Amino acid sequence: MVIKIHLSRLMGERKLKIADVQRETGLARNTISGLYQETTARIDLATLDTLCKLFGCTVGELVEFVEDQAA
């Protein structure tokens, strides 16, 4: 099982930098960076809500469960 975070794709489509998302949302830079690089271990529901509002997307468009190919 792998959880994919599509923040980098969403930001790229809108030509946004981490600083832009930080300014628009008020989220901590470390939070955004961890999601962008897919290194974060957990996501707060308020963070998901904030990012979904910013990008006008659903949670499923931001975060995706992908079956492990090796299994």
pLDDT digits (tens, 9 = 90+) for 35-47: 999 999 999 999 9
Range 10-18 contact pairs with CB under 8 angstroms and sequence separation of 24 or more = 10/55, 10/57, 10/61, 10/62, 11/36, 14/55
Mean pLDDT across the stretch 13-29? 98
Residue 19 confidence (pLDDT): 98
Helix (H, G, I), strand (E, B) or coil at 30: helix
Q: Which fold has domain 2-66?
A: 434 Repressor (Amino-terminal Domain) (1.10.260)
pTM of the model: 0.90
Q: How confident is the model at residue 70 (pLDDT cuts 50, 70, 90)?
A: low
Q: How many CB atoms sit inside 10 A of residue 25's CB? A: 15
Element (H, E) at 53: helix 45-55
Residue 69 confidence (pLDDT): 75
Sign (positive or negative) of CA dihedral 23, 55, 15, 47: positive
